[in-house]
């Protein structure tokens, strides 16, 4: 592998060397720990030997160009996609194939909200609440976003009649609904108007202050600048950088996250 | 595992059966509200009612009813089953991001379809008999057998449908395979077997033919019912061989066992495919 145009510490030549964000031995276990994760779809290798540690109480942004494997990584943590190899631990527990209980701690906001179209948002919320209760995992529910988004009169309408933006708001409401310790948001503000997008970002910051852990992807760098504490940069299915935002800026000698990431991408394209 | 884990509030003990039951409830509520299920039950009701009204109400009516059920039921179960699983894709993705295991979800989806379809059959066929009364009380067992075989076939073909939909993400292709399989099992099979028997007329083929019959659930159900009615002449070629080989009582038991396997194997394969699938 050709050495990148960046300083060596930024892009480790192989993923076997520990990522800079790996917590020192005294720190608590990471909220999510991914080791040696591999996934291929047919002949395409989507994830290759991915290592990542998501620290508690912080917002980790997974960034990278389209097709870098961000969504696949997220879905593998959730168990929606089955890894071909490697390990995923959530809250210190290694996730096996049959495990489902750990998802009680996770709120997931998929990139594109796909709902049973005949149901209303209220039906959906009632159903999920009921399901969690049946599972014996009822936590405090948090419907602050319903109010903030002023969704009140939209809740009773069938989901198929709602606009794209409104569906995305419902999507966000569902992710935060059960007060989960870990939130996984895939392009959360895509399709939201500026006001709703700020409401959502405020919510993320407030919940982080309350100790929640976030994994989020976005292509909007200003948004990540506002929200992210740590960055994991994926390229061609590999983690090319993982660490605090400040460290990335220092290593790339850039002042904005956007320029730092752009430099990583350029370096990756050269390699 | 590295450090001792701190369990978060909310991560309580899993109860897989509880969530499976919930999924069944949602699906049942959905199914009972849907028009196609009512139409399906109504179809059986009208056919049965007409046969009882205009037929002699005896064995002949039962035979005609049997032919209709054996022809229509697999088609409806396999086509609706395939569509149902494709349509449940959003629901599946939503639930799999929740603390719901894949086995529970599969069980919920399967029962949520097989149960209402079976119910529609039992109500549609059974109700006219209740309304008209039976011409001959001895028919009760035969009607029971017909309903039982119908429920078994419903379970077989919904399981096969699930397997098709899980193996292919392409709706059109999935539906094509579903209709093709129905054509094969319901129409082409007996003809192919007969052709085979004619070509190899000079060889002892009993065991081969028996094996072929066990490989077709529709044939199995038909033979199972005809053995009860004792009308071997209507059994088709495989049925006649079957009766010759086993005799009526053992034959019915063998057919019933083979049908049970026809439910168990596709369900097991379906669970496996569902557990491995990427959503």
Cα B94 from Cα B100, distance rounded (Å): 10
Cα A48 from Cα A38, distance rounded (Å): 5
- CA B1 from chain centre, in angstroms, equals 45
Q: Could you give the residue ranges of the DSSP H alpha helices within A187-227?
A: 194-209, 221-227
Cα B78 from Cα B164, distance rounded (Å): 9
Nearest Cα to A36, choosing from A61, A16, A8, A60? A16
Among chain A residues, CA nearest to B95: A128
* Cβ distance of A100 and B16 shorter than 8 Å: yes
For B2-5, the CB contacts below 8 A with 24+ separation are: B2/A29, B2/A33, B2/A92, B3/A28, B3/A29, B3/A92, B4/A92, B5/A29, B5/A91, B5/A92, B5/A93
Quote the Cα angle for B218-B87-A79, to 5°: 105
CA distance, residue B112 to nearest chain A CA (Å)? 15
CA distance, residue B39 to nearest chain A CA (Å)? 20
Contacts of A232 (CB under 8 A, 6+ apart): A19, A21, A52, A60, A61, A62, A63, A239, A241, A242
A33, A81, A100 ranked by CB distance to B99: nearest: A100
Nearest Cα to A185, choosing from B8, B97, B278, B11? B97
Cα A108 from Cα A102, distance rounded (Å): 13
* Cβ distance of A179 and B93 shorter than 8 Å: no
A122 CB within 8 Å of a chain B CB: no
pLDDT above 70 as % of chain B: 86
pLDDT at A12: 42
Burial B208-244 (b: 16+ CB within 10 A, else e): ebbebbbebbbbbbbbbbbbbbeebeebbbbbbbbbe
CA distance, residue A225 to nearest chain B CA (Å)? 28
Query: A61 near A227, Cβ under 8 Å?
Result: yes
Sole residue written with tokens 């496996």? B272
* Cβ distance of A180 and B7 shorter than 8 Å: no
Dihedral over alpha carbons B223, B226, B231, B234 (to 10 degrees): -60
A43 CB within 8 Å of a chain B CB: no
A28, A78, A98 ranked by CB distance to B101: nearest: A98
A102, A117, A134 ranked by CB distance to B11: nearest: A102
Query: A72 near A39, Cβ under 8 Å?
Result: yes
pLDDT at A271: 54
* Cβ distance of B10 and A29 shorter than 8 Å: no
Q: What is the DSSP letter of A188?
A: T
* Cross-sheet strand order for the sheet of A230-235: A106-109, A182-186, A213-217, A59-63, A230-235, A238-244
* Cβ distance of B103 and A98 shorter than 8 Å: yes
Q: Could you give the residue ranges of the DSSP H alpha helices within A161-193?
A: 164-176
Strand partners, A182: A106, A213
pLDDT at B198: 83
Per the model's pLDDT, the better-predicted residue between B236 and B116 turns out to be B116
Confidence of residue B11 (pLDDT cuts 50, 70, 90): very low
Among chain A residues, CA nearest to B276: A82
Cα B247 from Cα A136, distance rounded (Å): 53
* Cβ distance of B90 and A104 shorter than 8 Å: no
- CA A149 from chain centre, in angstroms, equals 22
Confidence of residue B55 (pLDDT cuts 50, 70, 90): confident
Q: Which two structure tokens, joined as six digits, stand for B76? A: 């409806």
A75, A105, A135 ranked by CB distance to B19: nearest: A135
A44-54 and A238-244 beta bridge pairing = unpaired
pLDDT at B219: 87
Contacts of B130 (CB under 8 A, 6+ apart): none
A80 CB within 8 Å of a chain B CB: yes
- Residue A45: CA count within 13 A, CB half-sphere: 11
Cα A103 from Cα B10, distance rounded (Å): 10
A80, A89, A180 ranked by CB distance to B96: nearest: A80
Cα B151 from Cα B105, distance rounded (Å): 22
As a whole number, mean pLDDT of residues B208-218 equals: 85
Cα B97 from Cα B90, distance rounded (Å): 11
Residue ranges of E strands in B108-205:
none
Sole residue written with tokens 């295991």? B101
Per the model's pLDDT, the better-predicted residue between A120 and B16 turns out to be A120
Per the model's pLDDT, the better-predicted residue between A234 and B20 turns out to be A234
A108 CB within 8 Å of a chain B CB: yes
* Chain B neighbors of A116, CB-CB under 8 A: 88, 90-91, 94
pLDDT at A95: 87
Is residue A104 helix, strand or coil?
helix
Where is average pLDDT lowest: A99-108, B25-34, B157-166?
A: B25-34
- Helix, strand, coil % in chain B, rounded to nearest 5: 80, 0, 20
Question: Which helix or strand (DSSP H or E) is residue A186 part of?
Answer: strand A182-186
Could you report the average pLDDT of every consecutive run of 10 residues in chain A (271 residues)?
Answer: 40 44 61 92 90 94 90 92 92 85 91 82 88 70 89 90 92 93 93 93 95 93 92 91 92 90 81 54
Count contacts between A and B (CB, < 8 Å): 125
As a whole number, mean pLDDT of residues B163-180 equals: 94
Q: Which two structure tokens, joined as six digits, stand for A245? A: 């935002």
B13, B88, B96 ranked by CB distance to A136: nearest: B13
- pLDDT tens-digit readout, B88-133: 888 888 889 998 889 989 999 999 999 999 999 999 999 998 888 7
* Cβ distance of B276 and A110 shorter than 8 Å: no
pLDDT at A5: 40
* Chain B neighbors of A34, CB-CB under 8 A: none
Distances (CA, A) of B202 to A111, B17, B198: 65, 56, 9
Confidence of residue B164 (pLDDT cuts 50, 70, 90): very high
* Chain A neighbors of B90, CB-CB under 8 A: 114-117
> Within a 10 A sphere around the Cβ of B103, how many other Cβ atoms?
16
* Cβ distance of A134 and B90 shorter than 8 Å: no
Strand partners, A85: A38
* Chain B neighbors of A29, CB-CB under 8 A: 2-3, 5
* Cβ distance of B102 and A139 shorter than 8 Å: no
* Cβ distance of B5 and A181 shorter than 8 Å: no
A81, A116, A135 ranked by CB distance to B278: nearest: A81
- pLDDT tens-digit readout, B181-204: 999 998 898 888 888 888 887 887
């Amino acid at each position: 592998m050709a050495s990148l145009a960046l300083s060596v510490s930024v892009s480790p030549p192989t993923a076997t060397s520990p990522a800079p964000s790996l917590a020192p031995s005294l720190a608590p276990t990471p909220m999510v720990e991914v080791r040696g994760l591999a996934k291929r779809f047919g002949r395409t290798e989507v994830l290759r030997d991915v290592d990542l540690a998501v620290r508690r109480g912080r917002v980790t942004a997974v960034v990278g160009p389209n097709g870098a494997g961000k969504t696949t990584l997220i879905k593998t943590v959730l168990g929606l996609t089955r890894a071909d190899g490697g390990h995923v631990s959530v809250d210190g527990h290694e996730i096996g194939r049959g495990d489902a209980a750990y998802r009680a701690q996770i709120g997931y906001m998929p990139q594109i909200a796909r709902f049973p179209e005949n149901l209303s948002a209220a039906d959906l919320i009632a159903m999920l609440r009921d399901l969690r209760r049946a599972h014996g995992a009822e936590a405090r529910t948090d419907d602050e976003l319903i109010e903030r988004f002023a969704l009140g009169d939209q809740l009773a309408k069938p989901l198929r009649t709602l606009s794209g933006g409104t569906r995305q708001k419902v999507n966000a409401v569902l992710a935060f609904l059960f007060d989960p310790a870990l939130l996984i948001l895939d392009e959360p503000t895509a399709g939201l108007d500026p006001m709703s997008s700020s409401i959502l970002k405020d919510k993320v910051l407030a919940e982080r202050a309350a100790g929640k852990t976030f994994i989020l992807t976005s292509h909007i760098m200003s948004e990540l600048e506002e929200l992210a504490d740590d960055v994991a940069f994926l390229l061609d299915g590999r983690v090319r950088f993982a660490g605090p935002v400040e460290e990335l800026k220092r290593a790339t000698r850039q002042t904005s996250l956007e320029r730092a990431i752009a430099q990583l991408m350029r370096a990756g394209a050269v390699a | 595992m590295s450090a001792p884990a701190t369990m978060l509030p909310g991560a309580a003990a899993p109860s897989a059966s509880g969530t499976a039951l919930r999924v069944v409830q949602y699906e049942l509520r959905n199914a009972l509200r849907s028009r196609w299920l009512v139409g399906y039950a109504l179809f059986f009701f009208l056919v049965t009612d007409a046969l009882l009204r205009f037929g002699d109400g005896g064995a002949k009516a039962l035979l005609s009813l049997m032919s209709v059920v054996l022809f229509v039921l697999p088609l409806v179960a396999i086509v609706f089953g395939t569509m149902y699983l494709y349509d449940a894709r959003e629901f599946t993705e939503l639930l799999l991001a929740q603390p719901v295991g894949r086995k529970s979800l599969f069980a919920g989806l399967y029962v949520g379809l097989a149960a209402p379809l079976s119910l529609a059959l039992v109500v549609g066929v059974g109700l006219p008999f209740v309304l008209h009364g039976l011409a001959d009380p001895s028919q009760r067992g035969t009607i029971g057998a017909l309903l039982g075989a119908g429920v078994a076939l419903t379970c077989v073909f919904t399981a096969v449908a699930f397997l098709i939909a899980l193996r292919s993400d392409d709706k059109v292709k999935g539906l094509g395979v579903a209709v093709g399989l129905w054509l094969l099992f319901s129409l082409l099979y007996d003809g192919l077997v007969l052709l085979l028997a004619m070509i190899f007329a000079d060889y002892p083929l009993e065991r081969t033919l028996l094996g072929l019959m066990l490989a077709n659930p529709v044939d199995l159900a038909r033979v199972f019912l005809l053995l009860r009615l004792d009308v071997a002449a209507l059994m088709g070629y495989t049925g006649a061989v079957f009766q010759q080989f086993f005799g009526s009582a053992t034959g019915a038991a063998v057919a019933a066992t083979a049908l049970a396997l026809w439910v168990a194997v596709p369900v097991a394969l379906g669970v496996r495919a569902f557990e491995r699938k990427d959503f």
